């Protein structure tokens, strides 16, 4: 399997992602420029990452212009065919704007940029991204955003719960989900969701910034290991 990392003008986490996936986790990883109109040589055993940053300067609103990039038509088609796509921070915003994930990311509750380590409660293990996360562990990861407050209407929230699409919630270091640790005011402390087909994922915290001990923690590795193990066991390798 290999990873493709989309690069927009204003992306600033693409090199971090390439480093972690390639140098740390040992996968093949390459950048894909936003003007590309196709994803050549990427199959269902591969993964597309939409990384964090400030695509197009966050003009209009975060992710709104990036969804119009030529490459996003290919990313949408890849996802519709069953390919795995992960959006992190600004990438989560882009995937919501593109209609690949439900809901939207709004300005933080206190109208301030938040940069801190948060903890995540894993709400479902029935996904490629979370299947191997220890069930008794709250993951520690950095968050850094001004428009990270997840919002959806009441009907969408019901559907998210019915179809087990909430993958992460903000929590205490012990894993308790309470308002005290809902840093940005997201509806029901939601920090990450997936689509109903369970092949498109979005999350605001940064697992790529928590994948090496030298950075203070490596909880992000649980996600990459889970994802690669799941795809290797569920998706047939090309002949």
pLDDT digits (tens, 9 = 90+) for 92-126: 999 999 999 999 999 999 999 999 999 999 999 99
* CB of 84 closer than 8 Å to CB of 75: no
Q: How many CA atoms lie within 13 A of 123 on its CB side?
A: 22
Summarised one tens digit per residue, pLDDT across range 23-48 is 999 999 999 999 999 998 999 999 99
Residue 192, pLDDT above cutoff 90 = yes
89 given a catalytic annotation: yes
Phi, psi angle pair for 160, to nearest 5° = -60, -40
Which position has the token pair 């992602």? 17
27 given a catalytic annotation: no
Domains of the chain plus CATH, in order, are 2-234 (3.40.50.880)
125 given a catalytic annotation: no
* Helix (H) / strand (E) containing 231: helix 220-234
The residue annotated as part of the active site, out of 13, 27, 89, 152, is: 89
């Amino acid at each position: 399997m290999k990873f493709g990392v989309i690069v927009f003008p204003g992306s600033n986490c693409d090199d971090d992602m390439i480093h972690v996936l390639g140098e740390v986790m040992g996968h093949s990883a390459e950048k894909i420029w936003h003007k590309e109109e196709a994803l050549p040589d990427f199959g269902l055993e591969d993964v597309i990452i939409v990384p964090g940053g400030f695509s197009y300067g966050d003009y209009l609103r975060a992710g709104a212009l990036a969804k119009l990039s030529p490459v996003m038509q290919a990313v949408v088609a890849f996802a519709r065919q069953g390919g795995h796509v992960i959006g992190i921070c600004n990438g989560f915003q882009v995937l919501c704007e593109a209609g690949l994930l439900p809901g939207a990311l709004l300005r933080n509750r206190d109208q301030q940029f938040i940069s801190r380590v948060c903890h995540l409660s894993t709400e479902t293990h029935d996904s490629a991204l979370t299947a191997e996360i220890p069930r008794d562990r709250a993951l520690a990861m950095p968050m850094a955003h001004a428009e990270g407050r997840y919002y959806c209407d009441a009907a969408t929230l019901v559907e998210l719960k019915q179809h087990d699409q909430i993958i992460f919630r903000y929590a205490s270091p012990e894993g308790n989900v309470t308002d005290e640790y809902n840093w940005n005011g997201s509806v029901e402390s939601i920090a990450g969701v997936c689509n109903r087909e369970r092949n498109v994922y979005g999350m605001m915290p940064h697992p790529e910034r928590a994948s090496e001990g030298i950075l203070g923690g490596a909880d992000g590795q649980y996600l990459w290991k889970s994802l690669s193990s799941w795809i290797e066991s569920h998706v047939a390798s090309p002949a």
